[in-house]
Amino acid sequence: MRRIVVSSDHAGFELKQVLKEFLQEQGYQVEDVGTCSTEPVDYPEFTKMACERVASGEFSRGIIFCGTGQGDAMVANKIPGIRAALCWDTFTAELSRAHNDSNVLVLGGWLIGRWLAREIIRVWLATPFDGGRHERRIRQMMAIEHHAHLHYRKVYDVSLTVAPGMAVWPGDPAVSIEAAKSITSGNTGNISMLHMGSHTGTHVDAPRHFLPSGTGIDAIDPSVLLGRARVFQLPKVQYVDRALLEGLDLQGVKRAVLGTRNSALQKQKRLNLDYAYISNDAAQYLVELGVKLVGIDYLSIEEYQKEGHPTHMALLGAGLVIVEGLDLTDVPPGDYEILCLPLKIKDGDGAPARVLLREL
């Protein structure tokens, strides 16, 4: 059965109730996300719910009922992937489909009657997209949308600042930054000499870190380091084990980023050995799920001085990318685009990285 999602505010509620019956008569299974009465509500929340169901691909089309429809059309077209058309006759409905491939129809109940609304819906549902020259224009439209969202989406820099005196793993080189050349000494420019370990601050572990024949940081597939990631905030856990992960929504997740109480420790200059870590059974579970990248907010993903390094061995041995030393303070849980860019060091066992999380 064909499916369609509908929503309304209080002004469009009565028209929605009538037209739902018409849609069912046309063979549609109708999903109504509200509102459920004529009591005054704020329309943006209901429009957003309906449009997100279309944008996600769960529904191919949606219909929104309002007073004039103006506000709802404005809200709908803020949702990436939505092409909402406010229609007031069958002609505008037909062209919104044929020329613009609209996937959401907005109707103003104060402006059109039930009969006209029914005809508009009938034409809108029956009209296919013409394609051709209009296909090119739709691509241009979506490119504008994509560019705008790249520009305006909030970006979280979850990388630690590399500085002398910062906490490093016991036995690793301390950070020093010295002037090799300086303008004040008569040179034409400033050049610094850096001295630090390859696992300083925010960094990526390569298989070579614990596997003698493992690949180096320069051989990691860049596509794993970029893409959709899910952030989980687990501020009260002592450690992350399989049982905890089984309670999280990891279905389909390829990049998991775990925020813990560790983020609050990151500003300390001395390493705190009582940090949250990932247990071996949790690592095995991530491998079973097909996760490709896992990040955590401290210098090691493993329990301190754990014999045999089973968490690292399980993850690196399966080809997972490990990102350590993240600062996830104030990053809300949810889905993001991760951009993780480690230094490309030949055969490197690891490398410092700049890691960003960008809102979807």
Q: Are 46 and 9 in contact (CB under 8 A)?
A: yes
Domain with CATH 3.50.30.50 in the chain: 198-359
3-class secondary-structure state, position 280: helix
The catalytic position among 10, 51, 66, 203 is 66
The separation between CA 44 and the C-alpha centre of its own chain, rounded to angstroms, equals: 22
Q: Render 212-223 in DSSP notation, one character per residue.
A: TTPPPGGGS-HH
- Angstrom CA distances, 192 to 122, 161, 261, stand at 70, 16, 34
Active site annotation includes 99: yes
The C-alpha atoms of residue 294 and residue 209 are separated, in whole angstroms, by: 16
Region 198-359: CATH code: 3.50.30.50
At 137, list the tokens: 């224009």
Active site annotation includes 147: no
Domain with CATH 3.40.1400.10 in the chain: 2-151
Please report, in tens digits, the pLDDT of each residue of the chain (360 residues total).
699 999 999 999 999 999 999 999 989 999 999 899 999 999 999 999 999 999 988 999 999 999 999 999 999 999 989 999 999 999 999 999 999 999 999 999 999 989 999 999 999 999 999 999 999 999 999 888 877 776 777 899 999 999 999 999 999 999 999 999 999 999 999 999 999 999 999 999 999 999 999 999 999 999 999 999 999 999 999 999 999 999 999 999 999 999 999 999 887 888 899 999 999 999 999 999 999 999 999 999 999 999 999 999 999 999 999 999 999 999 999 999 999 999 999 999 999 999 999 988
Pick the CATH number of 2-151 from 1.10.10.410, 3.40.1400.10, 3.20.20.140, 3.30.750.210: 3.40.1400.10
